[in-house]
Amino acid sequence: MADFIYLMETRLSPDQQRALALVTEVVRAQQLNVYLTGGAVRDILSGFVIRDLDFSVQGNALKLQKDFEKAGAVLESVDEPTRTIHLLLPGNVRAEVTSTRSEKYEKPGKLPEITPGTIYDDMRRRDFTVNAMALSLNPGSRGLLTDPFNGMADIEAKVLRVLHNYAFYEEPSRLIRATRLAARFHWTLEERTQARYDAAKENNYIENVGDRPLGHEVEQLAHEEDPLGVLKALEKEGWLKVLVPHFSMAKVDTAGLTQLSKIKQQMQEIGLNPDASPIVMYFLTHKLGDKEVSGIQKQIPNKGFVQRLRNLEDDARDFAKQLNAKDLAIPSHAWKFLMQSLPETLLFTAITARPGAAEQRIKNFLTKWPLTRQKLPFPEMAEMRITPELPEYKKILDEAFLLLLDGKLRNHTEIVKFLEPYKPPEPPPPPAPVRRGRAAKKEAPAAAAPEGAVPKKRGRKPKSAIAAAAPVAPAAAPAATAPDQAAAVAKEAKVKGPGKAEAAKPPAKGEVGKAPAKGESVKPESAKAQVKTPAKAAAGKAAPAHKPATKKPAKAEKPKPAAKPAKKKPAPAKKPGKKK
């Protein structure tokens, strides 16, 4: 069911969806079951253009006439024998509401005996399997498909199949309908259906056809998207003369129908959806005599359709006079007037109007003025935060379009001046970011520091500060490296002489930087070496690329005699501009 509900929501136009909701609401208010049936279901499932809506009601549909009129529908005609109402709903949506019934034919071509029935009885009385399907619109079963004759399979196979063997015999107008549908969809007749069609044609069943079914088929020609193609197929089968004795393709206003199709498409691009069926019938019968046209109009059972057909020329004449008014010389005024006019009258006037002011304004309305909309929205609208989310956005676009038609809003200054009153207020500034992580860590040591303490300065200390701090901190002595201590020991050995080489032995591994025992005196030479060691370390840090070359310490087993002291490498030059 969900799939068919989705199809109804996507395949129907917005106007048709509103019409569907209107009919369902009116019927359900009377506690009656209602179904979408016939050609509407066929077109929804097959993907073809949905031309009209057919509804079947389990009950007397004639009792709903006043309710439909109160809901805004136009009552075009009523067929009491079949309990059928023909409606024109808002948005030019044609609809047919009929009671579910069963039919029994006593004689071919005669009106059948009608009795109320169920939705299944209503499916059995129909012509082809693709038309014998129903979609429930009732709350408990909405979207449920009723397909007792497997019409879905015939839609997939693109064939037309009659429901029973006597379909063409009981109602000969089905011969014309089969040809019309096959020409519209480019489908073929199923094999057995084709055999029965040929037999009915050979036995001339068509001579028993009634006037009312013929009038219905004549009206259906006006609702075709390609009436010329259907007429050719009917003329080829010989049914065109059955419909209208003096009718032929040579008497059809082909140029008018071609112009009609072109202008209708232009109007649909603007957003207007005219019901062109009366105009199509006008050009189909335009070249016939008045007597023949009058006979055709009497034959059509839908009297509302006939009345609209008769009023076409008078309405177009009055419309052209109003369009020639001087106040409509302003493009924006002419646009408003044409948008509010009846689409069918505008369409017919656009085809038949004589050259003049009215004809030129309609031409601009259909071709020139719509191009102005391509300039919208302005780039300045995004810069001023005028976006589609604003409630007045559509109103702003409409006003800007009318001003553009009149030659205004020609530069950036005029556009900004027009948009300024619609500019939304400035958004509030964003809240300040919350400082986390590092900020919290910095606050902890600051809280632990005593009051009055001067915060420590960051950065590298000068050499003088490092040298002055060395004797104060006894822990700095172990920082001296083994090569520095070896150089100091060698110097001491030179002073004492070669006989005392053993005393100048370098300290063993593990004794480097060891503090003297209690009571021992520290030699001045070693103290001097210890004082200079931090300065050397600082110099090594300052210039890591040029480390001072130091000799390896002499091995204990083979002491070198009177080794020259290692020359100190001068410290790297200090950068200019910095004080010691």
Measuring CA to CA, which residue among 166, 37, 180 is closest to residue 112?
A: 166
Phi, psi of 101 (to 5 degrees): -155, 165
pLDDT at res. 469: 54
Q: Model pTM?
A: 0.71
Q: Which CATH class for the 1-157 domain?
A: alpha beta
Amino acid at 511: E
Query: Any idea what DSSP says for residue 79?
Result: E
d(CA 119, CA 116): 10
Residue spans of the domains in the chain: they are 1-157, 328-341+355-422
Residue 429, classed as helix, strand or coil, is coil
List, in sequence order, every residue forming a beta bridge with 35; answer none if it has no partner.
Answer: 56, 136
**pLDDT tens per residue, the chain (580 residues)?**
568 888 888 999 999 999 999 999 999 999 999 999 999 999 999 999 899 999 999 999 999 999 999 999 999 999 998 899 999 999 889 999 999 999 998 888 788 899 999 999 999 999 999 999 999 999 989 999 999 999 999 999 999 999 999 999 999 999 999 999 999 999 999 999 999 999 999 999 999 998 889 999 999 999 999 999 999 999 999 999 999 888 888 889 999 999 999 999 999 999 898 999 999 999 999 888 889 899 999 999 999 999 999 999 999 999 999 999 999 999 999 999 999 999 999 999 999 998 889 999 999 999 999 999 999 999 999 999 999 999 999 999 999 999 999 999 999 999 999 999 999 988 888 888 887 766 555 455 545 555 555 555 565 666 665 555 555 444 444 444 454 555 555 555 454 444 444 444 444 444 444 444 444 444 444 444 444 444 444 444 444 444 444 444 444 455 555 555 555 555 555 555 544 3
Those residues with Cβ within 8 angstroms of residue 51's Cβ, 6 or more apart along the chain or in another chain: 39, 43, 94, 223, 225
List, in sequence order, every residue forming a beta bridge with 89; answer none if it has no partner.
Answer: 93
pLDDT at res. 436: 74
pLDDT at res. 431: 86
d(CA 77, CA 83): 11
pLDDT at res. 127: 93
Cα separation of the two ends of the chain: 92
d(CA 474, CA 484): 17
Query: Any idea what DSSP says for residue 371?
Result: G
143: left (phi over 0), alpha (psi -120 to 50) or beta: left
pLDDT at res. 17: 94
